[in-house]
Amino acid sequence: MHNKLAVTGGSRRFFKGKLCLAGLLMLLFWHLLPIQGLAADGGRQVVRVGYPIQLGMTEVDEQGNYSGYTYEYLEEIAQYTGWDYEFVQVEGDLNESLVTLMDMLEKGEIDLMGGMLYSSEMEQLYDYSSNSYGIVYTVFQVLYDDTDYVNDSQVEKTLRVAMYGQSRKHKEEMEDYCRMNLQIPQIVPCTTIEEHLRALQEGRADVMLNTSMNYIEGLRTVARFAPKPFYFVTSKGKGGLLTKLDEALHSIEQTDPYFMTTLHEKYFNPSNKELKLTAQEKEYVENTEPLRAGVLTDLPPYSYQDKESGELKGISVDLLKAIEDKTGLVFELVPVENEEALAEMTAEGRVDLIGGMSYDYEQARHRNMAMSRPYISTQYMILLNNKMRNEEIAGRKLAILASYDYQGEFVGSPVYYDSREEIVRAINSGEVDYTYMDAYVAQYFYNRSEFENLYVAPQMLQENRTCIGVSKPASPELLNIINKVIITMPEKELQSIIYSNTIYRSDITLLEMVRRHPLQAVAVAAAVLLVVIGVLSWGVVTREKLNRKISLELKKHQELYGLVNDYFFEYDLKKELFTVSGKKEGEKHENNVVYRLFPERIADAPENGKYREILRRIMHSGRDGVEEIQLPGINRELHWMRIAMKNIYDHKGAPVCVIGRISDINEEKQERDRLKNQAERDSLTHVYNAKTSVRLIQERLDQLADGGTGALILVDIDKFKTINDTYGHMEGDHILCEVAGILQDSFREGDIVGRPGGDEFIIYMERIRDTRTLGDKCERLLQRISEIRMPDKKSLTISLGAVLARPQNDYDSLYIKADKALYRAKKEGRNTYFIA
């Protein structure tokens, strides 16, 4: 495993002779760039790239689409160099293809190769880029569900390390790390990746030695050490190509310092959304009294106090409630009037944490707070009086909080206020001209009808990230628990919290209408004195004006929504009319998936009858929140869409429209389904793996009603060890696949076929009436398997143990009965079955 991660330095002869030994291949990155020539069309330089197929680094799917860490780096380099690439692949496994491609690179038959560690010996054969494009670490990994590993450098302990084929260098790095951390390594030798995993699963090893670039599903990294940069290399004498390469690498680093980290996270550290607490964290939850959480009452929509009920509400409040639900922690919410009072309370130890604070190291040090990971990132907006929308702000009156600790220079003239609402009222009245606010805070006030003179514009120079602050000295367990909840919280759950707090419900009253439209109100009063026809005429005119004003407001909102990537919609419940933001001038509906899925009227898409009804039910359900549904797109293929929505009510409390956001999550959904299927299937035979088989069979057993029956069958290939020893493991694997194929073909779609391990298979059948029917099935299965021929033309045979399942049976008891029946069948000479 580890010897396939990167190439260490060494002579070509040494590399060829020792390629299969541990230590020569360490990284798992290889990209070889095209030849240094000119394409026939336009004279663009074509660079030939060696492309060995390697997970995470250089991959090609069945449609010929390239992907991987090195591939994306090369494409980014091409943005600066203008290169085209010819990706060169050769036959053979990874080791063989690497040797061949390195020979071709030395001879100049290809131009570029990636994923190379530096060594003086290799430098004699190839030219290295001046800049590296990644770092590989030696790492300790554990099963993702293992929450017991703790690296306590103050206590000496033995550490059982699963490893195989490691180079002397790898072993020395591991021993150095263990020595520094008072760990005594005890090697658990393994020969395959599967054996590594079994050693962890069976508790024979505490950790597995790996490298950071060798991604294995189901593992997580708990320690990394011995960093080693890796480089691109070229054939000798290609100075011009190497110069362009170095310039491009330098430009990428200067333009986006996080490009390397982002790619590494994408291909070698995918996020996991399952919350797992360690034993220490669970103990902390059980033994901790309610924690006092300071919550500002003047920071809507993050946190505020409802003026009518006095209840604390907001994004931060709902997030703390989510943490309580997910972990068992208990928070006592402490309302705080302003930032200054909150700073005093944290300094005096009257609160244990802050529900929402800016993710700012300087501010955290000043407050003596530790910070969680950010849970929201938004840009700052400029909130202006309408009269200022086309004016310069230099020299104008800037409204800021009195508690705002800023010692720098101001573009405008600062005017201080005690709360954010006071600032907004001052801007709305024209007392001051503008202020800077977080986008969600600005949107909250902008959506309130009483503030009719506000204008919001994006301010792109800075972003605001919000986190939870924990008073120092902070408990590591508490900080870990909060961070784990934030990191593993599903995006749709977080977005639901945000939308439920950022959509402001405004009740338009007659008094509010008179205040906002005094001239029209006077006209109405005067019209009452006139004849009825005059009153009706005025009503028509007023309605038209109101429609135009609403249309203008909607256009303003659409322009604001256009600053983000997703689509926002409004659905009129009475007219069944969709209005979707983001449509460009002249763009036809059929050119956009969103418009195909959401025509202006649902009735305008008669061919999508059932989907039209699904949409209608969702829109008329009266629920707020997030829905994920499949709908037909522009080519009538189904797309997965995520709809986050909020109902808007009139002054009578009746729903009038639904507003929200639409996101196309088709690729995200397909990727999740693919990963789920991959996690549930055996990698060799593609039937269910052991863990999934147990879970699915137990679910079917739980669903058995009174009088229902099923059957559990264990299948064991006769003398499979002899087959492996005689014909080799490759032939053994082929036979396993053939058996799996026959089993899948022999049972119904609703039946479960799995492989617990080795040469054993398990089947669960639904609705089996009696042992006679079960026996007939076993007989047919024996006959079909006998049609498989081994290399010596002999028939393959199997032994079967079966048992009928009844209500209240559990998996373990059934498995024991079936296993005893299987043993009876093998004892009676194999190639038969026995029903318990």
Distance CA 284, CA 803 (A): 46
CB-count burial class (<10 Å; 0-12, 13-18, 19+) for 573:
middle
Contact criterion met (CB below 8 Å) for 236 and 125: yes
Token digits for 509? 């009253």
Among the listed residues 417, 392, 393, the one whose alpha carbon sits nearest the alpha carbon of residue 404 = 417
Distance CA 112, CA 790 (A): 45
What is the three-class DSSP state of 804? strand
**Which residues contact residue 696 at a Cβ distance below 8 angstroms, ignoring those fewer than 6 apart?**
688, 752, 754, 764
**Which residues contact residue 565 at a Cβ distance below 8 angstroms, ignoring those fewer than 6 apart?**
none
Could you give phi then psi for residue 466, rounded to 5 degrees? -115, 135
**Which residues contact residue 616 at a Cβ distance below 8 angstroms, ignoring those fewer than 6 apart?**
576, 602
Among the listed residues 188, 191, 198, the one whose alpha carbon sits nearest the alpha carbon of residue 218 = 198
- Amino acid identity of residue 32, one-letter, is L
Distance CA 370, CA 276 (A): 22
Among the listed residues 714, 828, 821, 727, the one whose alpha carbon sits nearest the alpha carbon of residue 760 = 714
Integer CA distances (angstroms), 370 to 320, 342, 361, 814, in order: 17, 15, 9, 53
Distance CA 207, CA 343 (A): 44
Distance CA 147, CA 285 (A): 15
DSSP sequence for 763-803: EEEES---HHHHHHHHHHHHHHHTT-B-TTSPBP-EEEEEE
Token digits for 774? 């079960």
Distance CA 314, CA 521 (A): 36
- Amino acid identity of residue 295, one-letter, is V
Distance CA 795, CA 787 (A): 6
CB-count burial class (<10 Å; 0-12, 13-18, 19+) for 650:
exposed
Could you give phi then psi for residue 241, rounded to 5 degrees? -65, -40
What is the three-class DSSP state of 409? coil
Contact criterion met (CB below 8 Å) for 433 and 427: yes
Distance CA 725, CA 732 (A): 9
Give the containing element (helix H, strand E) for 755: strand 752-757
**Which residues contact residue 407 at a Cβ distance below 8 angstroms, ignoring those fewer than 6 apart?**
none
Distance CA 69, CA 270 (A): 13
**Which residues contact residue 367 at a Cβ distance below 8 angstroms, ignoring those fewer than 6 apart?**
343, 346, 347, 357, 469
Hey, which residues are catalytic here?
Answer: 759
